[in-house]
Structure 1
Amino acid sequence: MSATDDRSWTWLFSAWAVALVATLGALFIGEVMGQAPCVLCWYQRIAMFPLVITLGVGAFLSDRNAILHSAPLAVAGFGFAAFHSLLFYGIVPEAIQPCTATGPSCSDEAMTLFGIVPLPLLSLSAFAAILLCLFLVNRSRPS
């Protein structure tokens, strides 16, 4: 295995590790802490959970083409997380909020981890880290 292959595998593995930690964190918050996810959280989960599989298989097989399957999910998740963060901080007008009175609010105090760290910001950071790793995998391809 060449140094380029080693770097690609390292970045793929790193992206998988971020996706795994984010997925386990979401499950912990929902199942152990009992916090119901809002509508935007569900969309972010829909984008994050399959990344554990696509990136894991890609890292296991040292297949740099895993970015073809993973990047669209990461971009979509990043978009939802960015919108959710803007909504949480009150930058997006309340009139276009996707969360209704029937479910948890997308922007109240329940959207924080231990009352300190905003969950939308954690999700945005995870998707950004995955996208950075995928960019570095693609960059480490031989010319």
Structure 2
Amino acid sequence: MNKKIENGALFIWIVATLATLGSLYYSEIKHFVPCTYCWYQRILMYPLVLIVGVAIAQKNERFAPTVMVFSGLGSLLALYHYALQKLPLLQSTGGSCGGGVSCTAQYVNYFGFITIPFLSLLAFLTIFITSTYIWRQTKGTIS
């Protein structure tokens, strides 16, 4: 694993770890109950810490496609969830996304636009872009 790929993998691992710790902080310390879409985003984010951590430890460059799938799906889900919170048209049809907490609920709203799904979207996009870069760097060199 060359230094660029190793640094990219470490960056992805740090972003995924911070996102995981952030979501646990909001649910376990601040006692914000996650909605259904939040749970799905967690399901896609949490494994990335282990997947990329193991890849770094084993110096395995073949993690990028897997990470791209997880982060790509997570980006789409987070974008929809954010739109559900911010677009009035979707809010009127969205309501509750499966019982319990409404997916339009905004526990935080920093600066009028930064919500938890926005933070999730930012993390997933950062991971997706970085893993795409790593995949392009390793394309053709992985046997």
Q: Work out whether the TM-score is over 0.5.
A: yes
- For residues 42-121 of structure 1, what are the structure 2 equivalents within 5 Å? 42-90=39-87, 93=90, 94-97=92-95, 99-100=97-98, 102-110=99-107, 112=108, 117-121=114-118
Conserved 8 A contact 1:36-1:104? yes
SS state at 1:35 partner: coil
Conserved 8 A contact 1:40-1:106? yes
Gaps of 5+ in 2: none
- Answer with 86-95 or 41-50: which moved more: 86-95
Size of the alignment, in residue pairs?
Answer: 138
SS state at 1:104 partner: coil
Which structure exhibits the higher relative contact order, with contacts defined as CA atoms closer than 8 Å and separated by 6 or more residues?
1
Across the aligned residues of Structure 1 and Structure 2, the Cα RMSD in angstroms comes to 2.1
Counting aligned pairs with the same residue, the percent is 29
Give the Cα separation in 2 of the matches to 1:57 and 1:84: 30
Shift of 1:106: 1.4
Residue aligning to 1:134: 131
Q: Which amino acid aligns with 1:99?
A: C
Shift of 1:39: 0.8
Match of 2:4 among 3, 7, 26: 7
Q: Deviations over 1:53-97 (max 9, x none)?
A: 101111222211011322211111111101001101125523245
Going from structure 1 to structure 2, the CA distance change for 1:142 and 1:76 (only over 3 Å counts) comes to: closer
Q: Which amino acid aligns with 1:18?
A: V
Q: TM-score, normalised by structure 1?
A: 0.86
SS state at 2:138 partner: coil
Conserved 8 A contact 1:109-1:115? no
Conserved 8 A contact 1:86-1:92? no
Give the Cα separation in 2 of the matches to 1:57 and 1:92: 43
Q: TM-score, normalised by structure 2?
A: 0.86
Q: Deviations over 1:98-141 (max 9, x none)?
A: 525x411212232x267863111000000000011101212222
Q: Does 2:33 correspond to 1:36?
A: yes
